[in-house]
Amino acid sequence: MDLFTQPHVLARNSDPETSLIAARDMELTALNLVLNNPGWTSAELEKRHGFERGQIGKRLSTLVNNGRVIRGDKRRCEITGKLAFTHYTKPHKPR
């Protein structure tokens, strides 16, 4: 298992158990943020909820790969000003 070549991997085999627990906690946090803020970009989720850039975004990738989160349309992010994907949980995806 390689964290860098397989981005859906939560932690390396060599990481302590606490790292895997922390990664799972962050994944659950990311899922809850999307559930409660559908249609936001990763930067919006991070900035508006006090996370550092990248903390939630990397967990969103795992959630997308696992089918728990869906990437929506791209729009201009209110934080970065760049085009970015929005995120939804399956029940909240717009039609």
Q: What is the DSSP letter of 82?
A: S
Residue 26, amino acid: M
| Separation between Cα atoms, residue 1 and residue 11, nearest integer Å | 8
- Is it the case that residue 73 has pLDDT exceeding 80? yes
Predicted TM-score (pTM) of the model is 0.77
* pLDDT value, residue 22: 86
Q: Provide the pLDDT for residue 95.
A: 54
What does the angle CA 59 – CA 57 – CA 50 come to, to the nearest 5 degrees? Answer: 105
3-state secondary structure 25-81: HHHHHHHHHHHHCCCECHHHHHHHCCCCCCCCHHHHHHHHHCCCEEEEEEEECCCCC
Average confidence score pLDDT of the chain: 86
